[in-house]
Amino acid sequence: MARFIVAPQWQGSSSSRAMQLIDGAEAIAGDLPRASTTVLDAVPEAGDAQGTAVHRLSALIRMRERIEDAVRASADPAIVVGGDCGVALGAISPVAADDLAVVWIDAHADLNTPASSPSGAFHGMVLRAITGEGENLHRLEPGISPSRIVLAGTRALDAEEQRFIDEHGIRVIAPDALADPEVLAEAVQATGASRVYVHVDLDVLDPAEMTGVALPEPFGARTTDVVASLRRLRERVPLAGATLTEYSPSSPAAAVDDLGTILRLIGALA
């Protein structure tokens, strides 16, 4: 069994469509089982940077606290539905330990620091914060070792992200490599971890298969490949939790078109 936590955070996004992330989270929530779903209130204010280089940091910290409390209250693995990718920090924090691997299924690595980020938006820094680096007020301590991180479907990297990947030898699985469902499971097992946390940003999918994302990247993964890879991974390694993020449909009608794909991914996680 899994517990669903809907966290309609938009303040970590760099997109002009950021507030549509609330609509996306609510659209997904409408198709989740009501008895096992907790919907968190959106933080109403935009938030401020609190003297840092992270935009809207005060609102991000407030939502992180709400997510952490909800995950800790769940007796089952929690699947946190965003909202932007920044919700993953609060979702991972309660389950983080030395035996945890993190699978980041995303077109982007989200490994910038506040200093290197071209936007100042936290959704591009969240995985770096999960490794324990970045803004002191909003990072995981102690962080997850880069040796326990697997990137999958990643194809758009900034220079600092590439440097960090190369320096630490982080495993990167290309979108087309996910056609073999063994590849992801084997990469996670090679980390030596006994549990896995899975993050899915919907922009990992090819734009032909997912329209409701604000930052699409060409040559993405196929839904069938991601679903099969997740199912095989779950057969091999216990799931500690998951996130599914960055759904920002352009209209209610567009949301209907994408929800079937989204629910297939949620089914593979849950």
pLDDT digits (tens, 9 = 90+) for 96-154: 999 999 999 999 999 999 999 999 999 999 999 999 999 999 999 999 999 999 999 99
Tell whether the model's pLDDT for residue 252 goes beyond 80. Answer: no
Per-residue confidence (pLDDT) for residue 132, from 0 to 100: 98
pLDDT range class, residue 251, cuts 50, 70, 90: confident
pLDDT range class, residue 210, cuts 50, 70, 90: very high
Region 169-194: mean pLDDT is 98
The per-residue DSSP string of the chain comes to --EEEEE---TT--STTTTHHHHHHHHHHTTS-GGGEEEPPPP-S----TTSSSTTHHHHHHHHHHHHHHHHT-SS-EEEEESSTTHHHHHHGGG--TTEEEEEESSB-----TTT-SS--GGGTHHHHHTT-S-TTSS-SSPPPGGGEEEES--B--HHHHHHHHHHT-EEE-GGGGGSTHHHHHHHHHTT-SEEEEEEEGGGB-TTT----SS--SS-B-HHHHHHHHHHHHHHS-EEEEEEE----SSHHHHHHHHHHHHHHHHHH-
Per-residue confidence (pLDDT) for residue 250, from 0 to 100: 87
Region 155-170: mean pLDDT is 98
Tell whether the model's pLDDT for residue 177 goes beyond 80. Answer: yes
Residue percentage of the chain with pLDDT more than 70? 100
Tell whether the model's pLDDT for residue 1 goes beyond 80. Answer: no
pLDDT range class, residue 254, cuts 50, 70, 90: confident
pLDDT digits (tens, 9 = 90+) for 26-63: 999 999 999 999 999 999 999 999 999 999 999 999 99
Region 15-22: mean pLDDT is 94
User: Which range is least confidently modeled, 26-40, 42-56, 80-94, 240-254?
Assistant: 240-254
Average pLDDT of the chain is 97
